[in-house]
Amino acid sequence: MKFKKQIQWYSAFATSYLLTHSIANADAVYVDIEPDITLDNGGEFTALDLNDDGILDFGFMNTDFTWYDYPYGDVHFQRIMVNPFPGNKVAGSSSSTLYSYFYFYPFALNEGVPINESLEFQVYWYQGMATRIYDPNIFSTATATFTQGNWYPEMLDHYLGINFKDEFGHGHYGWIRCDVKDEGRTLVIKDYAYENRVNGQLLTGDTIGDTTFVKEHVINLDSLNLVVETSANIFKDLHIYSFNKTVYIANVNLNTDTQVLILNLTGQVVYSGEIKNNNTAIQLGETPKGNYIVRIQQGDEEISKQVYIN
């Protein structure tokens, strides 16, 4: 079997290599939205599925409407809003009024801000990035009578801090880079990134990953030629990570038989089996903590990735 030959080669080579090499376990997923998503008219809406698991994670709205707001009467609202879908959240502040109305304001973060549990996050819908409010009786001639939101009136190349749940229910921190301009009437969504490690910190603007997370004897997969690019690109949406003695493999293309091997850094196989579901969780029980190689094979195509089992 093709695996057997490669395991023997890897085992013979790994020991001398590990004596002289150690790298950071950076593992961010970065997506450049091309073309940018632009919402510049009231009533426009878009949603993002950050990790391509078929579950929408965040929605964005550009609204323009009149609403009765007690005790003021009819009020005209123009708003740019972000809506985290259930289980997800956006970094931001909140406030309440005398009449127990709650408002939520996503932060407009600068580059280099750590996205982690230390930030305040909000889970509610209709979080206002930028809001203009008018008295509709004089709407055609007046400037806004009230404005709010950390993105108002204009913020260019700033970041939303986010945390979303993947298909296994695990949280991932990340950012979405946006523009708000035209006095809060236009939203542009440019790109985003998230840390593949469960609840691992990511800095705004970072497209590589948290390089402060360093483990001894981390193997450089690229220099060992273990990651194989394929013309069929069958691994394009594949995600592999570990958490609490379990290896998670998501978005597997099941058009052909798919095999998985998990090896330690001496080349010893600690798990071997067939993947039969698009999303698979492999529990490793009493496997010692450390770095391991997860190898996925479909026919003559294969891909390998390092994970850390804790």
Express each pLDDT in 280-294 by its tens digit. 999 998 889 888 899
Claim to verify: residue 155 and residue 269 sit in the same structural domain: no
What is the structure's pLDDT at 99?
61
Report strand pairing: 89-96 vs 73-84.
unpaired
> Average model confidence (pLDDT) for the chain?
81
Judged on CB neighbours under 10 Å (0-12, 13-18, 19+), 299 is: middle
Q: Which two tokens stand for residue 298?
A: 């479909």
CB 251 within 8 A of CB 239: yes
Give the range of the structural domain holding residue 76, as residue numbers without chain letter: 28-203
Q: Which two tokens stand for residue 84?
A: 């985290």
CATH code at 221?
Answer: 2.60.40.3080
Instruction: Please indicate whether residue 137 or residue 276 has the higher confidence score (pLDDT).
Output: 276
pLDDT above 60 for 97: yes
What is the structure's pLDDT at 7?
37
User: How many of the other CB atoms lie within 10 Å of CB of 145?
Assistant: 14
The domain boundary, picked from 172, 203, 234, lies at 203
Q: How far apart are CA 255 and CA 283, in angstroms?
A: 24
Average pLDDT over residues 81-94: 96
- Residue 72 covered by a domain: yes
Q: Is the pTM of this model over 0.75?
A: no
Domain count, the chain: 2
Instruction: Place 274 in a pLDDT band, splitting at 50, 70 and 90.
Output: very high
pLDDT tens by residue, 189-232: 999 999 988 999 999 999 998 655 444 334 444 443 333 333 34
pLDDT tens by residue, 16-42: 333 222 233 457 899 999 999 999 999
User: How many of the other CB atoms lie within 10 Å of CB of 103?
Assistant: 17
Q: How far apart are CA 72 and CA 68, in angstroms?
A: 8
CB 37 within 8 A of CB 188: yes
CB 294 within 8 A of CB 262: yes
pLDDT above 50 for 101: yes
Instruction: List all residues 6 or more positions away from 196 whose beta carbon is below 8 Å from its beta carbon.
Output: 27, 28, 29, 172, 209, 239, 241
pLDDT above 70 for 270: yes
Best CA proximity match to 25, nearest among 283, 241, 225, 204: 241
pLDDT tens by residue, 144-166: 678 899 999 999 999 999 999 99
pLDDT tens by residue, 108-123: 999 999 999 999 999 9
Best CA proximity match to 75, nearest among 159, 9, 139: 139
- Residue 7 covered by a domain: yes
- Residue 142 covered by a domain: yes
What is the structure's pLDDT at 31?
94
Q: How far apart are CA 121 and CA 94, in angstroms?
A: 9
Instruction: Please indicate whether residue 13 or residue 29 has the higher confidence score (pLDDT).
Output: 29
Claim to verify: residue 55 and residue 158 sit in the same structural domain: yes
Helix locations, 19-116, DSSP H: none
Radius of gyration of the chain (CA): 24
What is the structure's pLDDT at 73?
73
What sign does the CA torsion over 264, 270, 273, 279 have? Answer: negative
Claim to verify: residue 254 and residue 183 sit in the same structural domain: no
Best CA proximity match to 248, nearest among 211, 208, 197: 197
Best CA proximity match to 83, nearest among 146, 117, 139, 129: 129
Q: Starting at the edge strand that comes first in sequence, how are the strands of the sheet with 146-148 ordered?
A: 44-48, 58-69, 73-84, 127-134, 146-148
The domain boundary, picked from 203, 235, 251, lies at 203
Claim to verify: residue 172 and residue 232 sit in the same structural domain: no
Q: How far apart are CA 292 and CA 272, in angstroms?
A: 13
Instruction: Place 138 in a pLDDT band, splitting at 50, 70 and 90.
Output: low
